[in-house]
Structure 1
Amino acid sequence: MEVQRIGVVGAGQMGSGIAQVAAQAGYEVVLLDVSEGVLARGLERIRSSLGRFLEKGRLSQEEHDQALGRIRQSLLLEDLEDADLVIEAVVEDEGAKKELFARLGALVKPEAILASNTSSIPITDLARASGRPERFIGMHFFNPVPLMRLVEVIRGQLTSDETRNAVVEVARRMGKEPVEVQDYPGFVSNRLLMPMINEAVQVLMEGVATKEAIDQVMRLGMNHPMGPLELADLIGLDTCLAIMEVLHRGLGEDKYRPSPLLRRMVQAGLLGRKTGRGFYTYDEKGNRMA
């Protein structure tokens, strides 16, 4: 099937980024969330990102205006009835995702594809909740979505070839590089990345080094663009914890046990850039403060 209309559920950092790249690729987009405030912040994030592309000459004024014109905001799930593809980008909580997909599966047209941007939860489990496992797939985008080329494509046990082919084509049209991985907890990216971040938190908790030293070692010694604690703040400590819990529960090995410090910081509401404080402190624009 040819995808023309895309729905994105969740207007946070990931959802707004997905909506932006879909609109830039020429798709008609409905960006949906539960509150006008979240939608307004999501649209402002898209405007700011497109504006930077315009300033750098990566977009013409016409392309900028057309992309914005393709995005429609909504508070109503019913506005996704005619979507060809719906991409979920809500909180990394299995129960919340299953509830959403049960509603979407009963709402969207029979030929529509449902996709999850989950970073760790098994796709086969979510697909079953949707009631249409043949037309369900994982599309794991990376933050920041407009800049990161990778999309992990994860087939569930019953995902059809037609669904896989359609989603791969959509990802490529968005300018992404789709890489297929198997449906295991954390897939490839977070099965490798999150234990590293978790170990960095544990090293900090044990007093082996300061947060600055830990990040500097990984930047200068391993040539990483940012250190693991900086990256945790960018991703969100609550998301990191949720992924580690999925890995620990799904794979059953102690090496995936979340660090007590990570859990304690999430309990305290210190979630990183989105709350202004995590391992580091940030201003209202998300810039790190001295």
Structure 2
Amino acid sequence: MKIAILASPSGKQEVLDKGIAAGVEILWCGSVKILVATVADVYMDLLFVPDRERTERLMMRAGMPFFINSVADAGIKEEKHFVRINAWPGFLQREYVELVVNGDEQERWTREVFGVLGWKYQAVPNIQGMISARIVSCIVNEAYYTFGDGISSKQEIDTAMKLGTSYPYGPFEWAEKIGLEKIYSLLWELQKTDERYKPAPALENEVLAMKTQ
């Protein structure tokens, strides 16, 4: 099986660290243009962003097994052509890959591809943030509320969370690994229908500061 993958250097390393079964050939692609021009059995866009031009290009491979790293983008018009997976930084390292399938054909794709790769997966509801990204984003957000109120430092909060919950990373370490803008974007979308997800002022201020640098 040939799998064409578009990924960042760190994403590429996560795929390699997860392990590739014998008989699978990975074709690494450096751009969307190269990805869709590559002849393969399966396609993965681990750098997906939901802009019109990119989606139209990916649709050139409609009908082929196609997986996109689309955590916050539930409900995109073309979703029946893609399997959404959670490939946020660090999440491919987990035992199960979190993903959303739409219909029997996508379920068949996923079962066959992941079976050949030797990877385990867990299908989750078709919602923004899936499950684990929602949870981690909420933890990060609450940590920023605590930090913003001057209750504790980032390092102290990270240490307390790791010691108290046995999490592999503290909330601020998660934010750095995933990318604070990704977390903020997800929270911003979720808070439109549920105020519990409203981004903490300290988190929002950091994101705004990053954008003005």
Is the pair's TM-score, using the shorter chain for normalization, greater than 0.5? yes
Cα shift at 1:176: 2.6
Q: How far apart, CA to CA, are the structure 2 residues paired with 1:83 and 1:153?
A: 21
**1:13-162 correspondence to structure 2 within 5 Å:** 13-18=10-15, 21=18, 23-34=20-31, 76-80=34-38, 82-90=39-47, 93-95=49-51, 98-105=52-59, 107-108=60-61, 111-122=63-74, 124-125=75-76, 127-128=78-79, 133=80, 135-141=81-87, 143-144=89-90, 147-155=93-101, 159-162=102-105
Which structure's CA Rg is the greater one? 1
| Separation of aligned partners in 2, 1:149 and 1:257 | 30
- Contact kept? 2:157, 2:170, Cα under 8 Å: yes
CA distance in 2, matches of 1:194, 1:255: 12
Please give the secondary structure, in 2, of the residue aligned with 1:90: coil
CA positional deviation for 1:23: 4.6
1:79 maps to amino acid: A
CA-based RMSD of the aligned residues comes to 2.6
Gaps of at least 5 residues in structure 2 are none
Distance in 1 (alpha carbons) for counterparts of 2:204 and 2:129: 18
Whether the aligned pair in 2 keeps the contact of 1:142 and 1:148 (CA below 8 Å) is no
**Scaled by the length of structure 2, what TM-score is found?**
0.84
Is 2:7 aligned against 1:6? no
Q: CA deviation at 1:178?
A: 0.7
Give the structure, 1 or 2, with the largest relative contact order (CA under 8 Å, sep 6 or more). Answer: 2
1:10 corresponds to which letter in structure 2? A
Give percent identity, aligned residues only.
Answer: 23
In structure 1, what is the equivalent of residue 149 of structure 2? 206
Aligned 8 A contact 2:90 2:178 in 1: no
